[in-house]
Amino acid sequence: MPISRENLGSAEFLFDYGAGAAYVLGGMVKGISSVQLVRIAARAGYLAFFGAGGLKLDVVREAVLALASDPGHAAPWGVNFLHNPLIPLQEDALVDILLAGGVRRIEASAFVQITPALVRYRLTGLGFDDAGKPLPRQRILAKVSHPEIGRLFMSPPPDQLVSALLHSGRLTAAEAAAACKIPLADDVCVEADSGGHTDRRPSFALIPAFVRLRNEMAKQYPDLPKVRVGAAGGIGSPEAVAAALMLGADFVMTGSINQCTPEAGTSDVVKDMLAAAEPQDFDMAPAGDLFEIGAKVQVLKRGTMFAARANRLYDIYRTHAAIEEVPPAVLSELENRVFGRTIADVWQETEAYYRQAAPRQLERLSPKQRMAMIFRWYFIHSQRLAQQGMIGQRANFQIHCGPAMAACNRWLAGSSLEDWRFRHVDVLADRLLAEAAQVLEQRYADFGMR
């Protein structure tokens, strides 16, 4: 049988998600993975996740309603579900929206521990088929880079969380009793060097390690359905898709390349910048949402000063105990060159947000935490400037992206998709997978196997 789009990767994946290919479009924050992006991909049979991170819950609710009506619940789409260590109650509120809206799939990411909200989403409505096989109503695709977190997602939901949810009436006795019959996630997608949050591990090392971990876990829990392993990070060419599958991935996921498509919820200016990116045009910067713990994001470097400015903010944060301790000359440099407004204005805006979202947290802030909140404002602001395409502020654009984008630009140079305006997400996925199949066929032929 010739290799084709339909038989690249796991057949069970296609069955479980109602997808036409073992290819996933990862969620991109603040609706960059827009309703339109998810709709077009899902209509073509590609599993795609709406970028709910950083959006108000009302906006997510509206997106869910829009996707439930078109492409509808049977199509392969879901919502990105980010761990929220700062405001844990928001995870619960998001689960309420997802369950009420009939969302059957989430892409769980940034988790450092398993939370009650995640377990409730997974177990609500869990039943069994006629043969006694567990039939989860909701599926979880977990995106991880650390084996210990991968192990948690490959295990059944933790007993103590299940008991607590049962006792608080948030799970039924039947749902709680069935919990030990399924792993927390159906799929664990290994995130290597990628756009956005990344600890930049190489796929060559990560994918085989996770495939072995999955095989070990299958031995430890022989009665549970087998968890699939996916590959994300650095995939922007047919050769990369083929390599990920040869390393043992059951499916592949892309992110960066989908940001440079007509459907992505960002500005044309950003898409023009991305379409010109070369392999050396990326840099690491602190992550705004996890600023205090020093987490990093990969961003586009060419044409913006964001990475340099954000790294400077992090250095100032590390070396001072409070904003009042920062020398006046440095503060005025920040106000004029980075924030474009006074620190007092930034604080006023930040405080107003938190007074509404988490008033009790606001009262307990230490001076250092207050400084972190002021600096974090820049990360929200710089992302907004890029998304809105404020060309005069290009130096502050924060554009999450990884070198997969450059590989994609090189691959498509001189083709009908050279101009991003033609790179519709479904067309891009079709071509990527069709050519990946050709790459594999060719390699087998090179080795004298066809």
Q: Does 412 bind ligand FMN (CB under 6 A)?
A: no
Check if the beta carbon of residue 407 is closer than 8 Å to that of residue 194: no
> Which residues 6+ apart lie within 8 Å of 348 measured at CB?
none
Q: How far is CA 227 from CA 153, 243, 247, in A?
A: 9, 21, 16
> Which residues 6+ apart lie within 8 Å of 245 measured at CB?
8, 9, 252, 436, 440
Q: Does 396 bind ligand FMN (CB under 6 A)?
A: no
Return the residues of window 332-371 that contact ligand FMN according to CB under 6 A. Answer: none
* 238-246 helix and 425-446 helix, angle to the nearest 10 degrees: 60
Check if the beta carbon of residue 121 is closer than 8 Å to that of residue 138: yes
Nearest distance, CB of residue 75 and ligand FMN, angstroms: 19
Write the DSSP string, 193-255: S-SEE-----HHHHHHHHHHHHHHHHHHSTTSPPPEEEEESS--SHHHHHHHHHTT-SEEEE-
Write the DSSP string, 350-374: HHHHHHHH-HHHHHT--HHHHHHHH
Return the residues of window 166-185 that contact ligand FMN according to CB under 6 A. Answer: none
Q: Does 401 bind ligand FMN (CB under 6 A)?
A: yes
Q: Does 76 bind ligand FMN (CB under 6 A)?
A: no
- Residue 272's φ and ψ, nearest 5 degrees, are -60, -40
Q: Does 143 bind ligand FMN (CB under 6 A)?
A: yes
Q: Of 25-33, 92-100, 222-230, 337-345, which segment contacts ligand FMN by CB under 6 A?
A: 25-33
Q: Of 147-155, 194-202, 223-231, 346-354, which segment contacts ligand FMN by CB under 6 A?
A: 194-202
Nearest distance, CB of residue 264 and ligand FMN, angstroms: 8
Q: Does 404 bind ligand FMN (CB under 6 A)?
A: yes
Check if the beta carbon of residue 315 is closer than 8 Å to that of residue 307: no
Please select the residue that binds ligand FMN; options are 10, 256, 382, 396, rule is CB under 6 A.
256
Tokens of 415: 């083709």
Nearer to ligand FMN, 101 or 196 (CB): 196
Q: Of 21-29, 346-354, 384-392, 415-423, which segment contacts ligand FMN by CB under 6 A?
A: 21-29
Nearer to ligand FMN, 195 or 238 (CB): 195
Q: Does 409 bind ligand FMN (CB under 6 A)?
A: no
Which residue, 43, 45, 50, 46, is CA-closest to 27?
50
Count of residues that bind ligand FMN according to CB under 6 A: 29
Which residue, 235, 265, 240, 237, is CA-closest to 253?
235
Q: Does 78 bind ligand FMN (CB under 6 A)?
A: no
Distance CA 53, CA 91 (A): 11
Distance CA 231, CA 22 (A): 11
Q: Of 180-188, 249-257, 283-291, 430-438, which segment contacts ligand FMN by CB under 6 A?
A: 249-257
Q: Does 31 bind ligand FMN (CB under 6 A)?
A: no
Nearer to ligand FMN, 170 or 424 (CB): 424
Q: Of 34-42, 230-238, 418-426, 442-450, which segment contacts ligand FMN by CB under 6 A?
A: 230-238
Nearer to ligand FMN, 170 or 296 (CB): 296
The CA radius of gyration of the chain, in Å to the nearest whole number, is 22
Which x/- pattern, by CB under 6 A, does the window 287-326 give for ligand FMN? ----------------------------------------
Please select the residue that binds ligand FMN; options are 9, 31, 51, 116, rule is CB under 6 A.
51
Which residue, 134, 60, 44, is CA-closest to 94?
60
Q: Does 244 bind ligand FMN (CB under 6 A)?
A: no
Nearer to ligand FMN, 255 or 303 (CB): 255
Distance CA 235, CA 380 (A): 27
Which x/- pattern, by CB under 6 A, does the window 260-279 give for ligand FMN? --------------------
Label residue 448 left, alpha or beta by phi (over 0 means left) and psi (-120 to 50 means alpha): left
Nearest residue (beta carbon) to ligand FMN? 255
Q: Does 91 bind ligand FMN (CB under 6 A)?
A: no
Interface residue list for ligand FMN (CB under 6 A):
26-29, 32, 51, 53, 80, 82, 107, 109, 143, 191, 194-196, 232-235, 253-256, 259, 400-402, 404
